[in-house]
Structure 1
Amino acid sequence: MSLFVEDNLWIFIIMTVIGGGGAAFMAGRGMAMKWRPIWMPLLAMVPLALGLRFLHFALFEANLTSLHYLLTDFVVLVIGAFLGYRMTLAKKMANQYPWLYEKAGPLSWRAKA
């Protein structure tokens, strides 16, 4: 049994949530800045999730073929990408079309009355 185990919460938080989630957030932000459709940053999370799974395997002796943890990593990355995408798109819509839209929160915009 290794010192590093698959269920270590700190490894998950540091590697997946902070590291992977930050990269996913920036990828979503970049896609929104180029006016890409929402499916593109979501599709980009597939290789990122595979790479993150490999880092867990290489650095912490985690199971490389664990579907459960791969899907968990993928869901966290998709959430990060979606947040980055929507936050950037809401800001761009309100800034680029100020006569039509205003921000209605961090993730959305609405038509001006």
Structure 2
Amino acid sequence: MEKEFGLLWEVSASEFVFVTMILAGGAAYMTGRAAARGWMPNWQLVIYMVLLAAATRFIHFALFSGSLLSLYYYVVDLVVILVIAFIGMRVTRSGQMATQYRFAYDRSGVLGWKKR
């Protein structure tokens, strides 16, 4: 099972889940929330996630003997944390739109809002 999905992780699935999804994903979600609360543009969140993906690659390298300069696995980590970051940003932004502009918008699910 460990080597079945070698396209997603290089050493083990548990390492990928722990480092990329739990540690870096948690940081990405909180960064997305902070970006939404500061009304930052999407491109600024992408820059933060590029840096976080580099730190994630370093943790894979330093703690679990992964490769440091693997472009493929860097992109895999980047895509995973970008998705988590934008989910965090969208959840927070939908709450902001429904709360701060309640005269114009209602919350429509967890990730969206709609005009009244």
TM over 0.5: yes
Are 1:67 and 2:48 counterparts? no
**Structure 1, unaligned stretches of length 5 or more?**
none
Report the 3-state secondary structure (helix = DSSP H, G, I; strand = E; otherwise coil) of the residue aligned with 1:106. Answer: coil
Which of 36, 45, 48 does residue 41 from structure 1 map onto? Answer: 45
Once the two structures are superposed, residues 38-75 of structure 1 have per-residue CA deviations (whole angstroms, 9 ceiling, x without a partner) of: 11111110110001100100001111111111001000
Query: After TM superposition, which residue ranges in structure 1, 4 or more long, deviate above 6 angstroms?
Result: none
Corresponding residue of 2:108: 104
Give, in whole Å, the separation in 2 of the partners of 1:105 and 1:43.
28
Aligned residues: CA RMSD: 1.1
- 1:7 deviates by 2.9
Identity %: 43
Once the two structures are superposed, residues 69-90 of structure 1 have per-residue CA deviations (whole angstroms, 9 ceiling, x without a partner) of: 1001000110111001100000
Which of 54, 58, 62 does residue 54 from structure 1 map onto? Answer: 58
Query: Is contact 2:33-2:88 (8 Å) kept?
Result: yes
Give, in whole Å, the separation in 2 of the partners of 1:67 and 1:85.
26
**Structure 2, unaligned stretches of length 5 or more?**
1-8
| Greater mean alpha carbon deviation, residues 35-44 or residues 92-101 | 35-44
Corresponding residue of 1:89: 93
Report the 3-state secondary structure (helix = DSSP H, G, I; strand = E; otherwise coil) of the residue aligned with 1:86. Answer: helix
Give, in whole Å, the separation in 1 of the partners of 2:89 and 2:44.
10
Are 1:10 and 2:7 counterparts? no
Q: TM-score under structure 1 normalisation?
A: 0.92
Give, in whole Å, the separation in 1 of the partners of 2:54 and 2:46.
13
Give the total of aligned pairs. 108
Q: TM-score under structure 2 normalisation?
A: 0.89
